[in-house]
Amino acid sequence: MTIVEDNRHLRGALLPILHALQEEFGYIDEQAIPLLATELNLSRADVHGVVSFYHEFRREKPGRHIIKVCRAEACQSMGANALVDHIKTRLQVDFHGTTADGAFTLEPVFCLGNCALSPAVMIDENLHGRVSLDRFDELAAETRANPTAHQQIPRALSHSHKGHAQ
Amino acid sequence: MSGHLITVFVPRDSAALSVGADAVAAAIRAEASSRGLPLRIVRNGSRGMLYLEPLVEVETPEGRVAYGPVTPADVPGLFDAGFLTGGTHALGHGLTEEIPYFKKQERLTFARCGIIDPLSVEDYRAHGGFRGLENALAMTQADIVKMVTDSGLRGRGGAGFPTGIKWNTVMQAKADEKFVCCNADEGDSGTFADRMIIEGDPFCLIEGMTIAAIAVGATSGYVYMRSEYPHATATLRHAIKLAYDEGWLGDNIHGTDRTFHLDVRVGAGAYICGEETAMLESLEGKRGMVRAKPPLPALEGLFGKPTVVNNVLSLCSVPIILDKGGAYYRDFGVGRSRGTLPFQLAGNLRQGGIVEKAFGITLHELLYDFGGGTITGRPIRAVQVGGPLGAYLPPSQFDLPKDYEAFAAQDAMVGHGGIVVFDDSVDMAQQARFAMEFCVAESCGKCTPCRIGSTRGMETLDKIIAGKNVDANLDLLADLCDVMVDGSLCAMGGMTPYPVRSAVKHFPEDFRKKQHAVRVTHIAAE
């Protein structure tokens, strides 16, 4: 519960706390909901409502790496639909699913802000542009082979002033 | 900085990183070291010519010389060609600022982006940074608001509401506390200008927000970032810390009696939080449900207090206005659309990137003179302007000048300046269906036309695409679009019909493909 203590002073603390929990554990455990409700003097329904409203908050433990693939219009114009089909076939998962070996969880996303270099994919916190089908396979293989790849950029989402690369 | 040390610039912008800028920087460092050549690498923002990323620049006495797109494998060859003194190479483009794509722009908001080290206050100051804030610190609140009003600046998030008028409302509101909130929830596909300027010139946003706070009497503020932008969030957090360290944020800014505290909050993947009242709810730690207006956020905004809510680009346009005056900014543009807009060229274009130009430029100029046509080499069939809630326009409308009123007259919108290009392989019925599908996924659910209408719209489009009762279903779809436009609480449900209607209007043949196919099969069977 140090996460709660670290953020309790913030106004509108629930979202920062949920982000910090997800960074720590990879998802928001069901058991956290009544605890947060008690700590923040909210109803369980309030906390559940917030967790379930936002696409970013996961309710189940994800794989070791998160692959976010953009489904929005700019990426569609450059073949994102075919890329999505390829990724699903290659990893043998549907959206929100985790590969059998626990390496990847696949998530859809609407826009990664890389619309001039479409199609775009984000693996953990690393953005990739002009992702052809072959390029995706390379990236997936590199990520599998390099368990620390996702730590190239320090965690940015927690409440701190020290998240800068290099 | 030592005068003789050669400086090489390799961007740290996310788009540049997405095509290998870190590996290129590492390769340059390693090659220089093995050749015993001392050099300094600056990780700048992007110049906005994203089709050339990673774009490496070298400082020479004549100016900065550009090479790109560079891969790590190109690096030894660049050294062999003497790129450190601007030598000729196949990837060379000469002086960066002479590249036509860049030279033809009018960079006011993005003046420093790609030029400076984004995390150096010294560099920011050396390029005119904080001059606007210094002026503001010596002005009355009313004079600052007047200058912004006189500049003609309108909200760059899409709605185009005059910024000065909004500020005036907040300034005149009586309250024990006021806020300035920056909406950096840049969720529209085809837009990346907010991300780029936050990564390439974050102090500009900090300065703009601080000026806004001084103008309206606010003492704290928030930037609402997207969780999809971890790199921009990290850059902004770092810049805010540096600004505090140097007395540009906090209590008694630079010895004055003005105080402004700034913090970053991160959304969680909900497109609707780009709507200002949903964003305020989210900042308060709640579900991002749209609020009914009135009351206006300017009077009852964050935590019920008077609040300025402005887009990143609006706030980033403020420092230059306070530095050079309202008239300077107003001299750019046409009609009631004053100043410049950083257009974002996206999707299927050879030369995608940021093009900051005064209002009045046509789509045709942007798509062909800057964009260079499609990357696939096929004809452009449709462009979506202004994000997922913007209309699809056919080539016959490419001469439309970029101006809020001219676009509104065509049931289209300039929006946040994003332009997504599709070639002739696009199926516009599928694009219309996607618009409804997106609304199903992203509606906050508060009002019925948006929550239910989008689902019914998607189902109806599925029937049309399958060739079932096409005429009757197109009538039904038109009726449903009217209900959504007239009855929705905010632009999510209210504008989702824009891409749908425009697709039906300009590309009717795509909605009858299956119908024709069904008929042909039927006739063949007879």
Distance, in Å, from the CA atom of B321 to the CA atom of B47, rounded to the nearest integer, reads 22
Residue-level pLDDT at B514: 81
Instruction: Pick the range with the lowest mean pLDDT from A55-59, A61-65, A71-75, A142-146.
Output: A142-146
Residue-level pLDDT at B404: 86
Kindly tell me if the per-residue pLDDT of B418 is higher than 50.
Answer: yes
**Angle at which helices B230-245 and B202-216 pack, to 10 degrees?**
60
Q: Where a domain ends, among B423, B450, B474?
A: B423
- Predicted confidence (pLDDT) per residue in A82-138, tens digit: 999 999 999 999 999 999 999 999 999 999 999 999 999 999 999 999 999 999 999
Instruction: Write down the H helix ranges in chain A.
Output: 2-7, 14-25, 32-40, 44-53, 73-76, 80-91, 133-145
If pLDDT is split at 50, 70 and 90, which confidence band does B413 have? Answer: confident
- Predicted confidence (pLDDT) per residue in B80-116, tens digit: 999 999 999 999 999 999 999 999 999 999 999 999 9
User: Is B502 an interface residue toward A (CB < 8 Å)?
Assistant: no
Q: What is the number of structural domains in chain B?
A: 4
**Angle at which helices A80-91 and A133-145 pack, to 10 degrees?**
40
Whether residue B338 sits in one domain with residue B285: no
The predicted model gives A19-25 an average pLDDT of 96
Q: Is the pTM of this model over 0.90?
A: yes
Whether residue B76 sits in one domain with residue B26: yes
User: Which chain A residues are within 8 Å of B191, Cβ to Cβ?
Assistant: 111, 113, 115
Residue-level pLDDT at B525: 64
- Interchain pair A113, B14: CB under 8 A: yes
The domain in which residue B449 lies consists of 428-517
- Which among A49, A115, A152 has the least Cβ separation from residue B287? A49
The predicted model gives A51-75 an average pLDDT of 97
User: Is B15 an interface residue toward A (CB < 8 Å)?
Assistant: yes
Residue-level pLDDT at B523: 65
- Predicted confidence (pLDDT) per residue in B506-524, tens digit: 999 999 988 777 666 666 6
Distance, in Å, from the CA atom of B311 to the CA atom of B166, rounded to the nearest integer, reads 12
- Interchain pair B231, A165: CB under 8 A: yes
Residue-level pLDDT at A156: 42
Residue B114, domain member (yes or no): no
Residue A87, domain member (yes or no): yes
Whether residue B296 sits in one domain with residue B212: yes
Within 8 A by CB and 6+ apart from A144, the residues are A103
Kindly tell me if the per-residue pLDDT of B402 is higher than 90.
Answer: no
Kindly tell me if the per-residue pLDDT of B424 is higher than 50.
Answer: yes
Residue-level pLDDT at B520: 65
Query: Coil, helix or strand for A109?
Result: strand
Q: Where a domain ends, among B423, B439, B467?
A: B423
Q: Identify the residue with better confidence: A153 or A46.
A: A46
Six-digit token string for B501: 């209607």
Question: Any idea what the CATH number is for the domain that residue A119 is in?
Answer: 3.40.30.10
Kindly tell me if the per-residue pLDDT of B71 is higher than 90.
Answer: yes
- Interchain pair B384, A73: CB under 8 A: yes
Q: What is the mean pLDDT of chain B?
A: 95
Q: Which of B304, B370, B307 is nearest to B342 (CA)?
A: B370
Kindly tell me if the per-residue pLDDT of A157 is higher than 60.
Answer: no
Kindly tell me if the per-residue pLDDT of B6 is higher than 50.
Answer: yes
Q: What is the number of structural domains in chain A?
A: 2
Kindly tell me if the per-residue pLDDT of B285 is higher than 90.
Answer: yes
Residue A145, domain member (yes or no): yes
- Predicted confidence (pLDDT) per residue in B485-510, tens digit: 999 999 999 999 999 999 999 999 99
Question: Any idea what the CATH number is for the domain that residue B96 is in?
Answer: 3.40.30.10
Residue-level pLDDT at A155: 43
Residue-level pLDDT at B521: 66
Q: Where a domain ends, among A15, A32, A53?
A: A53
- For A75, nearest residue in chain B (alpha carbons): B347
For residue B7, the distance in angstroms to the closest alpha carbon of chain A comes to 18
Kindly tell me if the per-residue pLDDT of B430 is higher than 90.
Answer: yes
Kindly tell me if the per-residue pLDDT of B432 is higher than 70.
Answer: yes
E-assigned strands of B250-330? Answer: 261-266, 307-311
- Interchain pair B420, A156: CB under 8 A: no
The domain in which residue A46 lies consists of 2-53
Kindly tell me if the per-residue pLDDT of A42 is higher than 70.
Answer: yes
Residue-level pLDDT at B524: 64
Whether residue A70 sits in one domain with residue A144: yes
DSSP state of B296: P
For residue A6, the distance in angstroms to the closest alpha carbon of chain B comes to 15
Residue A161, domain member (yes or no): no
With 0-12 CB in 10 A as exposed, 13-18 as middle and 19+ as buried, what is B409? exposed
Residue with tokens 């462009």: B383
Surface of A (35-74) touching B: CB under 8 A:
46, 49-50, 53-57, 68, 70, 72-74
Residue-level pLDDT at B401: 87
ipTM: 0.94
